[in-house]
Structure 1
């Protein structure tokens, strides 16, 4: 029976195989976070309107678009939320195991732009030194800032 299934699988090739795989496997959203730092070593934190009132502060975070490379998601999300331009750096976190979400985080470096907040999502944006982070910061984001892998993000 296994030989028949293998022969059948090899015979269908191309798009039909991809459709079968797509239907047979789980679908995930990818939450992408940027640990954005400036030349002084400060980290960009945002006060998010839609997050829990007791934990509104966090790193720039959003979901990858279909077909989007994750470093590009960091660049896009920071630009959309703050008007700032960043360059994505090294991958600092990749975590799965949530029901429908995979989480990815990258270091990022400020390269330009002017602060212009997306008032729908973001209440405030500020630069903090890692030893002076605000109360109400997501614990997972605190860990990312300090070089850890962090737990669950607020995305």
Structure 2
């Protein structure tokens, strides 16, 4: 069964805006998909048994080798593909734990690097979402709240709020 079949018709993806201490953004250039050859944020799908914020940390690490912490929730991108597939992506703000060397995932990415947002705006190959994030100057970030139990009857093994 392919990943596409496994996901069914409702997709949940995550994307991470990783900002360096100088304010540069971690961007990747994908080898496949709708963003092939374009600069975009590291992203991927939430897997079974993980929360969305755990998924974004894993995806950024897999794609770039950079360990991060989640600073909060930026927002949601949601759409429908060909009137059939519900395509949803949660965007998080992340911070590198230590700014080490980028080791990009060779088979998925052409390149990964930190770039200044002003420089990204001038890139013809920057994704529409990147342009929006830069020009809209997103400042309202929802921090994560952990350690809440909504009730034992639900059986949650992980439960977090971003409010």
TM-score normalised by L of structure 2 = 0.67
Deviation for aligned residue 1:55: 5.0
* Pairing of 1:136-151 with structure 2 (within 5 A): 136-147=125-136
Aligned to 1:68: 50
TM-score normalised by L of structure 1 = 0.71
Q: Determine if contact 1:37/1:43 at 8 Å carries over to the other structure.
A: yes
* Pairing of 1:116-155 with structure 2 (within 5 A): 116-133=103-120, 134-147=123-136
Distance 1:96 1:56 in 2: 20
Q: 1:70 to 1:93 in 2, by over 3 A?
A: same
**Higher gyration radius (CA):** 1
Residues 74-83 or 49-58, more deviating: 49-58
Structure 2 unaligned residues grouped into runs of 5+ = 1-7, 139-163
Q: CA RMSD in A?
A: 2.2
Distance 1:61 1:145 in 2: 17
- Deviation >6 Å, runs of 4+: none
Distance 1:120 1:135 in 2: 23
Distance 2:108 2:135 in 1: 25
Distance 1:120 1:55 in 2: 13
In the alignment of these two chains, the number of paired residues is: 124
Aligned to 1:50: 32
